[in-house]
Amino acid sequence: MTQQVKPLPPRHQQLLNWLQPWLSRDFQALTQVAGDASFRCYYRLHATENTQGNSLIVMDAPPEKESSDAFLHLAQVWHREGIAVPKVLDSCARQGFALLEDFGDLQLMQAVAGQKPQEADPFYRQALRQLAEIQDSDPLQTQQLPDYDAPLLKREMALFDDWLLGDFLQLNNRDRPARWKAFQQELVNQALIQPKTRVHRDYHSRNLMVTDGEQLGILDFQDAVYGPLTYDAVSLIRDCYLAWPQNWQQTWLNCFYDLTRPPVTLDEYRHWFDWMGMQRHLKAAGIFARLWLRDGKAGYLADLPRTLDHLTQALQNYPDWADINLWLRQEVQPRLQERLQLLKDTPKQDD
């Protein structure tokens, strides 16, 4: 008896149909590669053995879940500017498919894992030079990006309140300091007084790929905005996925300050850098909790303690907010450790 072939899921069949012009020439195998924290999926399109072509990356972004328009537009604009983003070889925004240059699988995070700061330093200086190129852009193009305004900054911090404090740690409003909202408002104020530039918005070691020749390629730029000039620098230097010594953080901050020459003193820039980092770490911690609670992605839970450590270390520089730092250290961080230990001891059961 002939065994029936199980039909492919409709979305996968749709993708193969779109890829037919490529599959019928110098490419054959299609394998899934690691994705990210979004609904997007990625595949590697392998060249046939008898060709000298390179592999390509296929992006599958279901249009009912997220639009590909911003990614495709920015990829083309930034690539023309010489920024190290992948070249788009083919695309269909209506279906949510794109065929991209392949930057490989080695993230900067993986490349520097276990290295001493001085060994990672060349990569970080290269990443900071590339970031300076992103900021040195055509003002007309930059100002067409969405504005990183007060409502967006507040929505991001609400992720911390709703998903981490509320749903994950079960801390309600009365468990929060009297000045908690005032602290969040100050974070917004400090972001909005900064000069604005083009902001990648997720410029960190998981979105920088080490390509051939140890050159860095930049991914995940579709959420770019027009916003505070310190945002991307603090995303990289105070990465949620890595913890470098404070003296090396300062070295790289000084390096970026020298590269970009912002219209403020180094001390003023460092102050903005601290406050922008605290806003970002509130946002990231909320997202990590949401990825677990809503999407069942547990991999980011291990990054929560480091993310809060970045927050509390920065707050130590501002004694006027000692009550907030004390609450984070004595209430939030211990409760987080208890919750993570409980999850470790009693892993989530499948339905």
**E strands within 202-350?**
208-210, 216-218, 225-228
What is the C-alpha radius of gyration for the chain, rounded to an integer number of angstroms? 22
How much helix, strand and coil, in percent to the nearest 5, is found in the chain?
50, 15, 35
* Each residue's pLDDT expressed in tens, for the chain with a length of 351 residues: 344 444 557 888 888 889 888 876 666 678 888 666 567 889 998 877 655 568 899 999 988 888 889 999 999 999 999 999 999 999 998 999 999 999 999 999 999 999 999 999 999 999 999 999 999 977 667 778 999 999 999 999 999 999 999 999 999 888 899 999 999 999 999 999 999 999 999 999 999 999 988 999 999 999 999 999 999 999 999 999 999 999 999 999 999 999 999 999 999 999 999 999 999 999 999 999 999 999 999 999 999 999 999 999 999 999 999 999 999 999 999 999 999 999 988 765 544
Label residue 198 exposed, middle or buried (CB < 10 Å: 0-12, 13-18, 19+). buried
| Cα 87 to Cα 180: distance, rounded to the nearest angstrom | 44
Q: How far apart are CA 85 and CA 71, in angstroms?
A: 11
Encoded amino acid at 129, one letter: R
Q: Can you give the pTM of this predicted structure?
A: 0.91
Q: Are 95 and 63 in contact (CB under 8 A)?
A: yes
- pLDDT for 13 equals 86
The Cα-based distances of 231 to 179, 182, 197, 258 in angstroms read: 24, 21, 9, 16
Question: Per DSSP, what are the bridge partners of residue 162?
Answer: none
**Residue 53: its pLDDT value, please?**
64
* Closest residue by Cα to residue 242 from 103, 106, 110: 110
Which one, of 287, 155, 172, 148, lies nearest residue 223 by Cα? 148
Give 180's contacts (C-beta < 8 A, 6+ positions apart).
324, 327
The confidence score (pLDDT) of residue 326 equals 98
